[in-house]
Amino acid sequence: MRPLASVDEALELVLSQVPEPRVEGVDLTAARGRVLAADVVADRDYPAFPRSRVDGYAVRAAEAGAGAELPVAFEIAAGTAPSRPLPPACAARIFTGAPAPAGADAVVMQEHCEPHAGRVRILRAAEAGQHVVPVGFESARGDTVGRRGDVVSPALVGALAAVGAARPAVAARPVGRVVATGDELVAVEELPGPGQIRNGNAPALRAALVAFGAVDGGSATARDDRASLAEALAFALAADVCLLTGGVSVGDYDLVPAALEAAGVAAVFHGVRLQPGKPLWFGTRGNTLVFGLPGNPVSSLVTATLFVRPAVRRLLGLPAALPGPLRAVLDGPLARGTWRRRYDPVRLVHRGDGVLLARPVRYRGSGDVFGFALADALAVVPEQARAPAAGDEIEIVALSAAPG
């Protein structure tokens, strides 16, 4: 029997199968948070004309010493072009953002001027270049404004708008679909009968996919028979990321691996030295990434966090790993490590002195979705580690980190 992969080996295998992100153009207003798929360059100099930084008077600095009185030749508002060059020994009334007239090399802000009857008295001597933004000062034609791989921030949206990039090319958000398997499943709105449970994994995993940055492509439910699985897989395998939950272990009714093989999905690995989540299955069909997640609700969400989230981030054009690593001080004991790396649910608390605490939650195993709902992070317990005690610094994996 092939040995189980370690968590790190399994993640490396997953990431080795992630295709290059698809590229799409999006409206600029929808680009925030997306990753640029190509460089964006300035289409002209910015500013394209010498621009006044302030409201005041455009002058020749050599003619605008303290106490000088100059006739005001004309006025220039933002959005208009000067009608003519500035005449010698004159000033032009100018407003913030307006182009300075030819011949002017400075703007005296209005607080340092005293206008009267068509003339202006300069109260503070002008210096050449003051309050005038020269052509190309902010960005020259051809300068790179946004680089491939940049996450689009609101500020970058403004820069892209300034250079006319109305539909920037970004990494497309992958579509994720979920298949929940099992004869015991009933819809969330139904009252379960004897031996039945509500299908909580499908909505939880769809919510997780959206939190990771994917597009929710919907879900299907499959019974424990080959025909039902084949029908559900025909729907789910049309997505970029396909998540199946349940039926991936080695019981008589664990039909998912065989159904995936029949659907043309190539297996990459089956089983990870991980608790919870040991039965994890992963494979590919074309560019579709297929994850067979365990049916226990905690196991499915832990494996989605550890393996699906990095894959979705890579598809989004982001680094697979979250910024980190994140560490915290344990605020209660945990069980010692075993032959598998373990991820225990904890809640993060910021102590008054700035220390981040990881507080173990009330939790009764991989079927306890109620206890797991109290957690916002996972404490990592390495293989064969001694029992972590209160006060130990431990590695943490955030559960709720969004893309970017």
pLDDT in tens, 300-343: 999 999 999 999 999 999 999 887 668 999 999 999 999 999 99
Last residue of a domain, one of 133, 158, 185: 133
Residues 296 and 197 in one domain: yes
Q: Is residue 249 over pLDDT 80?
A: no
Query: Is residue 336 within 8 Å of 308, Cβ to Cβ?
Result: no
Note if the bond before 47 is cis, omega within 30 degrees.
Answer: yes
Is 45 exposed, middle or buried, given 0-12, 13-18 or 19+ CB atoms closer than 10 A?
A: middle
Please report whether residue 403 resides in a domain. no
Quick one: which of 362, 379, 390 has its CA closest to 326?
A: 379
Residues 79 and 208 in one domain: no
Q: What is the pLDDT of residues 141-188, one digit of tens each?
A: 999 999 999 999 999 999 999 999 999 999 999 999 999 998 898 899
Q: What whole-number distance in Å separates Cα of residue 400 and Cα of residue 102? A: 57
Query: Is residue 330 within 8 Å of 379, Cβ to Cβ?
Result: yes
Coil, strand or helix at 228: helix
CATH number of the domain residue 346 falls in: 2.40.340.10
Q: What whole-number distance in Å separates Cα of residue 331 and Cα of residue 360? A: 7
The strand pair at 106-109 and 69-76 is best described as unpaired
β-pair partners for 72: 91
Please report whether residue 2 resides in a domain. no
Residues 370 and 311 in one domain: no
Of 53-62, 226-235, 362-371, highest mean pLDDT = 53-62
CATH number of the domain residue 215 falls in: 3.40.980.10
Cα–Cα–Cα angle for 48, 52, 56, nearest 5°? 160
Q: What whole-number distance in Å separates Cα of residue 238 and Cα of residue 290? A: 11
**pTM of the predicted structure, to 2 decimals:** 0.87
Tokens describing residue 154? 């609101």
Coil, strand or helix at 256: helix
Quick one: which of 185, 190, 244, 197 has its CA closest to 219?
A: 244
Residues 199 and 297 in one domain: yes
Last residue of a domain, one of 153, 171, 189: 171
Please report whether residue 114 resides in a domain. yes
Please report whether residue 368 resides in a domain. yes
Average pLDDT over residues 37-64: 97
CATH number of the domain residue 102 falls in: 2.170.190.11
Residues 296 and 251 in one domain: yes
What is the domain range of residue 373? 326-398
Please state the domain count of the chain. Answer: 4
